[in-house]
Amino acid sequence: MLADLSPLIAATAQWLTRAYPAGGGVLDATLCEVQARQAVTVAAWLRYPTVVDASLVGLVGPGGSARLYWITGTDGPPPGTDGDDWDVQAWRTWVDEVVVSWAACLLTDPALAGAAVAALADCEHTAGAPFDFRRLLTPDEHDRRAAALLRHPDLLAPVSALHHGGLLDRLKAENAPDPLLG
């Protein structure tokens, strides 16, 4: 079984950067992708906090991007693309709607992003390795400009609203005291 979330993270970040692309050149596109990938990584690790969770999603799959395209008003292939090719791109099946929604919440709310990263302190995915989510937590001016669409609260509102409550519930559960320890 697949205990690694990298296919889900890569596909979900790709969906975000295609739905909310950078406006500039290659550097802007790269900075936008890094921010999307950091937000998606945090969201995926919160959603699937254990190796068992990651293995299960690897076994059954995350669900795909069809509903997200409908919600964002892009329920068909983008203009100028081959419709047949667009429909069969396998990466779209690895997009996780909840992770997209949670990542959108993190990209548009710095306080929520900070709480989410803090909640990962005891996560199995972060054990033994330092992780830097600076571009998500403290983007500089160039980061903000590169990801202007990706971080725009009004543009991401339909997506972030989908599972915002679930993210808040997860963060409350992560920060709740252990009932066995008192």
Residue 35's pLDDT is what?
A: 98
Rounded to the nearest integer, the mean pLDDT of the chain is 86
* Separation between Cα atoms, residue 132 and residue 137, nearest integer Å: 9
Collect all residues with Cβ–Cβ distance below 8 Å to 3 and sequence separation of at least 6. Answer: 51, 54, 55, 58
For 127-179, the pLDDT digits (tens) are 777 788 999 999 999 999 999 999 999 999 999 999 999 999 999 987 765 54
Each domain of the chain, given as residue ranges in start order, spans 6-78+89-173
Collect all residues with Cβ–Cβ distance below 8 Å to 82 and sequence separation of at least 6. Answer: none
* Separation between Cα atoms, residue 34 and residue 45, nearest integer Å: 16
Q: Is the pLDDT of residue 2 over 50?
A: no
Mean pLDDT of 14-39: 95
For 74-104, the pLDDT digits (tens) are 655 555 555 555 455 778 888 999 999 999 9
Residue 76's pLDDT is what?
A: 54
* Separation between Cα atoms, residue 158 and residue 154, nearest integer Å: 8
Which among 73, 45, 80 has a CA at the least distance from the CA of 170?
Answer: 45
* Separation between Cα atoms, residue 98 and residue 70, nearest integer Å: 15
